[in-house]
Amino acid sequence: MRPRLAAALLLTILLVAGGSAAETKTRNVILVTVDGLRWQEVFRGADPLLLNHTNGGVANEDRLKAAFWRDTEEARREALLPFFWGTLAKQGQLYGNTNRGSTALLTNGRKFTYPGFNEIFTGFADDRINSNAQRDNPNVTVFEWLHQKPAFAGRTAAFANWDTHFYIFNARRSGIPTWTGYTNSLAFAPGSRLALIEQLHRDITPIWPDMDFDVFYLHALLEYLPEAKPRLVWLGLSEPDEWAHEGRYDNYLWAAHKMDQYLQRLWTTLQSLPEYRDRTTLIVTPDHGRGSGPTEWRNHGAAVEGAENIWIAILGPDTPPLGERAQTDTVYQNQIAATLAALLGEDYHAAVPKSGPPIAGALSE
């Protein structure tokens, strides 16, 4: 084959495949989404305006204050999220503290769940997605894009707490094993611990009609990791948003605190497994923010000021340990998909130019 023809053919192959980013140490990525957890609690801890029954629906103010109230914002956030501030903020990066000049924003104007998750997973906002209806996502997510590559085929999975997540992920078309506890494409072997978790999920008294407690999804993932050794996983946690909508600030804080404990357990498990130790990046983010004040903290949506503010946390071998970022360029939700792919050595932004580019500071030069 002539050299010019060979070079042109190689370029065509690379373009079709989406190209490749720089070589990275990261071989696996775990994306954890935390539905509706505000940046205010992440960076300030418990909100003094809401630690009462009047504004926060708190059932036992003394118990809640003993657990999470401290005299300074730094101490409050550490009490609420000890893994974030004891490990992630020291070894990774946190974006989104607007008080320190680090802003993270949505690009979709809807500020609710399905549009937010579409933006996270595809890298762009889509005006066609204007409700939380159970309709298959017409867009190909970065997970599906990677799943089509031999290196990730059969090595991708999702454990997501909300029945509509099955449709957001378009699990039928993508072929990615997905467990929401309601609509599933992930087979659990009879008699396995995964099957037991699924049975417990079915047997517990339901509080909400379309989701359950986040702990089921954590434990399902912890069982699945050493068994299937996936390279790309989504863990979707949803309790904070539900408790906020119900106006229960006490349960909202406890759900955030439990999320932090789940992350610590997940990170400890990853570091205990040879396939994941020092080869895995953890990305944590919400799908939207919320309002502020005595009532708007419960809500989000296009009309809610401040619900466009989110936060992004990244911990892994390719992310410089710069901790809580300050005085940085604004980062956007639409950059998460390309950042995830770049950490795995893949150039999603080149393949999908309308997606946001990778977050530059989150990857080593």
Note the pLDDT tens digit of each residue in 240-270.
999 999 999 999 999 999 999 999 999 999 9
Q: How many CB atoms lie within 10 A of CB 176?
A: 25
Q: What is the CATH number of the domain that holds 301?
A: 3.40.720.10
The pLDDT value recorded for residue 186 is 86
Note the pLDDT tens digit of each residue in 271-296.
999 999 999 999 999 999 999 999 99
Structural domain total, the chain: 1
CA 297 vs CA 107, 109, 240: distances in Å:
20, 18, 12
Instruction: Indicate whether 306 belongs to any domain.
Output: yes
What sign for the dihedral angle of Cα 38, 44, 45, 51? negative
Instruction: Indicate whether 65 belongs to any domain.
Output: yes
CB-count burial class (<10 Å; 0-12, 13-18, 19+) for 276:
buried
Alpha helices in 123-159 (DSSP H): 142-147
Note the pLDDT tens digit of each residue in 219-233.
999 999 999 999 999
Q: Which pLDDT band holds residue 13 (cuts at 50, 70, 90)?
A: very low
Instruction: Indicate whether 271 belongs to any domain.
Output: yes
Instruction: Indicate whether 17 belongs to any domain.
Output: no
Alpha helices in 165-281 (DSSP H): 165-168, 171-174, 193-203, 215-228, 239-245, 249-272
Show the domain range for 205.
Answer: 23-362
Q: Which pLDDT band holds residue 184 (cuts at 50, 70, 90)?
A: confident
Q: How many CB atoms lie within 10 A of CB 91?
A: 15
Instruction: Indicate whether 92 belongs to any domain.
Output: yes
Instruction: Indicate whether 106 belongs to any domain.
Output: yes
Give the angle subtended at the CA of 93 by the CAs of 87 and 97, to the nearest 5°.
Answer: 105
Instruction: Indicate whether 8 belongs to any domain.
Output: no
Instruction: Indicate whether 224 belongs to any domain.
Output: yes
Angstrom distance (rounded) from CA 148 to CA 159: 19
The pLDDT value recorded for residue 21 is 59
Contact partners, residue 1, CB within 8 Å, separation at least 6: 9
* Across 2-18, average pLDDT: 39
